[in-house]
Amino acid sequence: MLDFAAQTFSGDSQMTDIKPKDPLHGVTLEKLLTVLVENFGWPALAGQVNINCFKSDPSIKSSLKFLRRTPWARKEVETLYLDFVEGLLKPDMSSKSKRRSTSPASTPAAVKKASSAKPAADSPWNNHPLVKKNQADES
């Protein structure tokens, strides 16, 4: 019986050598945010992640409340933290985070060309004044 207990306790020391797969394992959101604020400051964080809680009267408490309720913002801040911890992002923040993808809102939308498709022969749009005008312009 004592041998089994000794084996169990000796096996525990080996388990501490294994690194978790999740790099954020054991890091609270508060600790993560505190590290970012201490290294970068609120203005630089607001430049990286465009959210009002970093711009307008920023505080750890208000930011934590927002980040806990907003998954997309939390993910961006966590990615920023991972980039910093892994050395991909320096405190000068001259460039955006390497892992962050550009959101569709931040990239200019492609200008869509109006469709040149014609309505079917039995379509009620055939008698529409604009369709008739466009057909006359093409001729």
104 in a structural domain: no
Q: Is residue 69 part of a domain?
A: yes
16-28 pLDDT per residue, tens? 566 668 888 889 9
Digit-coded pLDDT (tens) for 91-103: 765 555 555 544 4
- Structural domain including 73 reads 22-98
Number of domains in the chain: 1
Residue 77 one-letter amino acid: V
Q: What is the dihedral of CA 15, 18, 24, 28, to 10 degrees?
A: 30
- 71-85 vs 29-40: helix crossing angle, rounded to 10: 60
Is the residue at 7 inside a domain?
Answer: no
Mean pLDDT of 14-40: 83
pLDDT at 123 over 90: no
Gap between the Cα atoms of 117 and 135, Å rounded: 12
Query: 88: pLDDT confidence band, cut at 50, 70 and 90?
Result: confident
Residue 31 lies in a domain: yes
